[in-house]
Amino acid sequence: MVLCPVIGKLLHKRVVLASASPRRQEILSNAGLRFEVVPSKFKEKLDKASFATPYGYAMETAKQKALEVANRLYQKDLRAPDVVIGADTIVGLLTACKLKVFDLLKDEAPQKAADIASKVDASACGMERLLDICAAMGLLEKTEQGYSNTETANVYLASDGEYSLHGFIMHNNDLTWNLFTYLEFAIREGTNQHHRALGKKAEDLFQDAYYQSPETRLRFMRAMHGMTKLTACQVATAFNLSRFSSACDVGGCTGALARELAREYPRMQVTVFDLPDIIELAAHFQPPGPQAVQIHFAAGDFFRDPLPSAELYVLCRILHDWPDDKVHKLLSRVAESCKPGAGLLLVETLLDEEKRVAQRALMQSLNMLVQTEGKERSLGEYQCLLELHGFHQVQVVHLGGVLDAILATKVAP
C-alpha cells in the first residue's frame, strides 16, 4: 500500500501495533509506518449479537485490544505510546472510505455520528466507534459539535481530493485484502492467489482479475490514477528529459504521468499506450488544460501489438508485474522500437542488492507474489536486463518515497 501521506503524522510518533499478525504488520509496513509490535492479551469474548454490524464488532474488539496494550505499557514504564493500533484498526480506514465518510464530511462539517449514520444506512453506535478510530488516527477532528475532516483526509481520502487515494483504498478493500487471506498458500505454491479469491484460474491476469467487468476495470484504473498522481511530478523531474521530443508511456493507464510529463516539457508529445478497454475510459480522467493537446491515446497489447514510435519509452510500475521471461519479451519489443540514442525510463521500487535492507521493497515483492506473476528487483538485476537488450548508461534516482527512477539509453549494436 502507498498510504504514507495519510499516516504521515504518525511517522515521528511512538506507534504500537497490538497484534502479532504478519498480515497486519505487512499492511502497515507497506504504508511506510514504523511501529513496535506488542500483542494484546485481550480475550475476544464480546457478544457479537449485541453489535448492529460486523464492522462494529471488529472496531470494538480493536479498540479494547489497543486499550489493553496502552494500559499495560503505561503501567510498565509510565510512558504511554502516542498511538496504539488495534489488530483490526486498518479495517476502519477501509470501511470509512467505502462508506464515503470523508466525502460527507468534506461537503458539510462538523457532523454528529448519528447524522452521518443516517446518510449511509448505518447504526449510530457503530458509526461513532468508526469515527473515533479515524479521529485517533489523526484523520478526523472531534469536537463537541461533531466530526470534521483533517486536511489529510480532504486531500487524500475524499474521493474528489486533489491527490485522492480513495480508489486505491477501495481496490485494496475489495481485492487485495482478500488475496492476502491466502498468503500462506502463495508462499507454499509460489504463485498469485486470484484463483482462490475469485474462484477461478486467471488465464490472463489483468483481463480475468483486474478487468473482469467494467466495474472492476474502473476500480483498478482509479487505484492506478491516484497512486500515479501522487508521484508523477517526482518521476517527471527525476531526470532532465528535455532532449526527448516524444514519449510513449507503455501501460500508461489513465495518462496521469503523461500529463505531468507534458506539463514539465511543453515541447514533448506523449502517447499513452494501453489495452483497448482501458483507453476507452482513460480520456475521462484527463482534466481540460493546455497539456491536453500534447497527449494522445493509442490502444494495443504491449506483448503483441506494435508500440507507438517515440524517442523516450516509459515503463512505470510495469515490469514488477511480470516474471523474467515476459520482462525480456517486453524489453525486446521496446528495444526493437528504439533508435540509437533513445531513452527508456523505468519506475519501480528497488530492492537492495543483498535483499535485506529495503523493507518497503521487500514487502512490495511479497505483495507481487500474492497479486501478480512478478516481483521487485534490485538495480543490479534491472541493469543486467537492460544491458541484454542494448540499453546502457544506466542512471538511477531515488525519489524519496517508495519509488525509484532508472534512465537508460539505447546504443547502436
Contact 161, 130 (CB under 8 A): no
Q: Is 329 helix (H, G, I), strand (E, B) or coil?
A: helix
* Residues with Cβ within 8 Å of residue 338, at least 6 apart in sequence: 313, 344, 390, 410
* Residues with Cβ within 8 Å of residue 201, at least 6 apart in sequence: 194, 195, 208
Q: Which three cell numbers stand for residue 376?
A: 521487485
Please name the residue that has the C-alpha cell 514504523: 34
Q: What is the DSSP string of 236-249?
A: HHSS--TT-SEEEE
Which residues does the annotation mark as catalytic? 88
Q: Which three cell numbers stand for residue 381?
A: 538485476
Q: Which three cell numbers stand for residue 227?
A: 497512486
Q: What is the DSSP string of 276-323?
A: HHHHHHHGGG---SGGGGGEEEEE--TTTSPPPP-SEEEEES-GGGS-
Question: Which residue in 260, 229, 228, 262 sits closest to 245, CA to CA?
Answer: 262
Q: Which three cell numbers stand for residue 238?
A: 527525476
Q: Is the dihedral of CA 367, 368, 370, 371 positive or negative?
A: positive
The DSSP output letter for 208 is I
Measured CA to CA, the distance from residue 106 to residue 164 in angstroms comes to: 13
Please name the residue that has the C-alpha cell 504500537: 16
Measured CA to CA, the distance from residue 255 to residue 271 in angstroms comes to: 9
The DSSP output letter for 209 is I
* Residues with Cβ within 8 Å of residue 146, at least 6 apart in sequence: 109, 110, 111, 112, 113, 115
* Residues with Cβ within 8 Å of residue 28, at least 6 apart in sequence: 17, 35, 85, 90
